[in-house]
Amino acid sequence: MYILAVESSCDDTSVAIVKDGREIISTKTFSQVKRHEIFGGVVPEIASRCHLEAIGGLTKLTLEDSGLKKVDIEAIAVTYTPGLIGSLLVGINFAKGLAMALDIPLIPVHHLRSHIASNYLSYKNLKPPFICLVVSGGHTSIIDVKSYTKMKVIGKTLDDAAGETFDKAARYLGFPYPGGVYLDKIAEKGNPDAFKFTIPKVKTCRYDFSFSGLKTSVINKINEFRQKDITLPIEDISASLRQTVVNYLIKNLKEATVKLNYKKVAISGGVSANALLRKVLKKQGKENDWEIFLPDLKLCSDNAAMVGAQGYYEFMNGKRAKPNLNAYASMNIEEPGLL
């Protein structure tokens, strides 16, 4: 079954055609990074307008590239939550029109579910149940993936996300937006033990996260150097922050994995491209006899292929969009009966 998928939740416009939820037939992505870079972050209205300009052409190119005809497409999948409302609306409205014109079903897909599904494209044999750490610019959660469509939140961030923490620190250190990837590279040259940034304690669930205090303490440290007019040890700060964040993520993930008795451990989302996170998780896999799943680097950040993958399993489970499908800025991954 060929599904044409559309992703426009933030600042990447992406279209893909995916076969049976596991094989990417063709995909095209337009990254808006250059349009937002000068503002140091995503400007929602610019993002919506860029999606509007890109989405039609990208779809045409994706279809041409696939060698398929419109009649071969059996369903359209689209991200409907969470994300920037204006951005989501562009993708949803386009997908609605396409599904109507082709007279095929429309499948609404939760963005974080699709991040988890990026692993189905990278590992053809991966099947739920497994545990997955979803780490992106806006989200940090540990998810019990009970089946392709049944998920339970085991831990979540109470404030900022891991990616946001990297991006904010990176901005203060002078890296371009989005800084996480630059911080990761420069951290390779630094001493991870140069600075002690403490891991915050949370009073809720032991698998929950909190990054706001950590973010502030890194910014304070950077300001200390600036006030004293001392050269910023960019490499050491980057390496120390990266190590603190990764250790924190791994600590909670490990505890949850042991508690739920999982042997299959996956990660997903933009931050899952982080070199240290991937390295430490592989090591943990060896030490604990876990099977580790790390999505291909090109599938870590936002893309439509993962929407096509999750869309397939949602379709098989009978999920269809109603004609009045709307966009939602946030929604629990368990999808509590809104549709």
Q: Specify whether the CB–CB gap between 60 and 69 falls below 8 A.
A: no
Binding partner of residue 273 among Zn ion, ligand KG4, none, CB under 5 to 8 Å per kind? ligand KG4
Distance set, CA 179 to CA 136, 163, 185, 313 (Å): 13, 9, 10, 33
- For ligand KG4, the nearest residue by Cβ is 270
Q: Specify whether the CB–CB gap between 177 and 171 falls below 8 A.
A: yes
- The least distance separating ligand KG4 from the CB of residue 111, rounded to whole angstroms, comes to 6
The interface mask with ligand KG4, positions 174-213, x = CB under 6 A, is ----xxxx--x-----------------------------
Give whichever of 247 and 320 is closer to ligand KG4, judged by the CB atom: 247
Which residue is listed with tokens 């870079």? 37
**Residue 122 binding Zn ion, by CB under 5 A:** no
User: Rounded distance, CA 242 to CA 164, Å?
Assistant: 13
User: Rounded distance, CA 21 to CA 259, Å?
Assistant: 30
Sheet holding 264-268, edge to edge: 151-156, 140-145, 130-135, 264-268, 291-293
Which one among 21, 269, 295, 311 touches ligand KG4, defined by CB under 6 A? 269
Token digits of residue 130: 């497994």
Which one among 87, 114, 136, 217 touches Zn ion, defined by CB under 5 A? 136
Q: Is the peptide bond before 82 cis (omega within 30 degrees of 0)?
A: yes
- Closest to 330 (Cα-Cα) out of 321, 338, 318, 319: 338
Binding partner of residue 167 among Zn ion, ligand KG4, none, CB under 5 to 8 Å per kind? ligand KG4
Stretch that binds ligand KG4, among 91-99, 223-231, 264-272, 318-326 (CB under 6 A): 264-272
The interface mask with ligand KG4, positions 110-139, x = CB under 6 A, is --------------------------xxx-
Stretch that binds ligand KG4, among 49-57, 162-170, 200-208, 226-234 (CB under 6 A): 162-170
